[in-house]
């Protein structure tokens, strides 16, 4: 009976994780089935292994290796917060499958994962900080001049500006920028005409 209760708690937790936190905030439909599939798949495999003669540690290790391989060999790009949701769905499935005498402990750990994801991925947390990959229509070799130009361009305070490619022939600069916006609006004030190769996050 405790195991069935854990199964029910896990299903409720992953539904809340996916449909209560992830999808309303990020609206990426293809990852909904991925998170649900990872959770239920790990739950089923770990439960079957715990009831067999196969070592649970070996089985969980293989499951973790498989999930990590999927994440590494993905065909589409994942942001870091989406990877965090992957591991959260995985952890919920493991906690739901482990045989334990304390349902409250496993349920509490699942609740802790949900609370951490709710707070860590909250839109208001560090909302003034942004990340962009920008292509400038000029070749800028001086770091100080580059930072000053980006701050004027974005209307923001630049914390780091890493040049990824400097093309002196075509006079372009590909730069990875980490910055924080000024004011209450939260949106950078654009000037000039940069060709942006990445969206602000």
Instruction: Let me know if residue 43 belongs to a domain.
Output: yes
Classified as helix, coil or strand, 35 is helix
Instruction: Let me know if residue 201 belongs to a domain.
Output: no
Span 127-145, average pLDDT = 92
Instruction: Let me know if residue 65 belongs to a domain.
Output: yes
Strand partners, 179: 130, 158
Instruction: Let me know if residue 136 belongs to a domain.
Output: yes
Could you report the per-residue pLDDT of 19-62, keeping only the tens digit for each?
999 999 999 998 999 899 989 988 888 887 776 655 556 556 66
Neighbouring residues of 39: CB distance < 8 A, sequence distance ≥ 6: 10, 14, 89, 90, 92, 93
Residue 7 shares a structural domain with residue 67? yes
**Identity of the highest mean pLDDT range in 1-5, 65-69, 74-78, 132-136:** 132-136
* Proportion of the chain above pLDDT 90, given as a percent: 50
Domain limits for position 136: 129-196
The count of domains in the chain is 2
The last residue of a domain, from among 92, 120, 148: 120
Residue 88 shares a structural domain with residue 115? yes
Residue 95 shares a structural domain with residue 133? no
Residue 81 shares a structural domain with residue 149? no
From 51-65, 167-181, 185-199, the region with the lowest mean pLDDT: 185-199
Residue 13 shares a structural domain with residue 99? yes
- What's the rounded Cα separation, in Å, for the pair 38 and 158? 38
Q: How many CB atoms lie within 10 A of CB 186?
A: 12
What b/e string do you get for 17-47 counting C-beta neighbours within 10 Å, with b at 16 or more?
Answer: bbeebbeeeeeeeebeebbbebbbbbbebbb
Residue 105 shares a structural domain with residue 142? no
Instruction: Let me know if residue 156 belongs to a domain.
Output: yes
- What's the rounded Cα separation, in Å, for the pair 39 and 87? 9
Helix (H) or strand (E) holding 172: strand 172-181
Instruction: Let me know if residue 62 belongs to a domain.
Output: yes
């Amino acid at each position: 009976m405790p195991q069935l209760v854990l199964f029910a708690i896990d299903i409720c937790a992953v539904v809340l994780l996916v449909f209560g936190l992830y999808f309303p905030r990020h609206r990426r439909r293809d990852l909904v089935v991925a998170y649900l599939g990872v959770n239920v798949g790990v739950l089923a495999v770990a439960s079957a292994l715990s009831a067999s003669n196969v070592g649970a540690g070996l089985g969980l290790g293989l499951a973790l290796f498989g999930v990590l391989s999927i994440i590494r060999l993905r065909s589409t790009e994942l942001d870091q917060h989406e990877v965090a949701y992957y591991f959260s769905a995985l952890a919920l499935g493991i906690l739901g499958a482990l045989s334990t005498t304390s349902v409250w402990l496993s349920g509490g750990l699942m609740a802790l994962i949900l609370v951490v994801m709710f707070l860590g991925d909250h839109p208001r947390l560090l909302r003034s900080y942004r990340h962009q990959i920008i292509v400038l229509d000029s070749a800028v070799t001086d770091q100080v001049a580059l930072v000053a130009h980006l701050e004027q361009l974005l209307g923001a305070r630049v914390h780091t500006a890493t040049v990824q490619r400097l093309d002196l022939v075509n006079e372009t600069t590909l730069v990875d920028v980490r910055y924080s916006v000024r004011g209450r609006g939260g949106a950078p004030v654009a000037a000039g005409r940069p060709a942006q190769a990445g969206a602000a996050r």
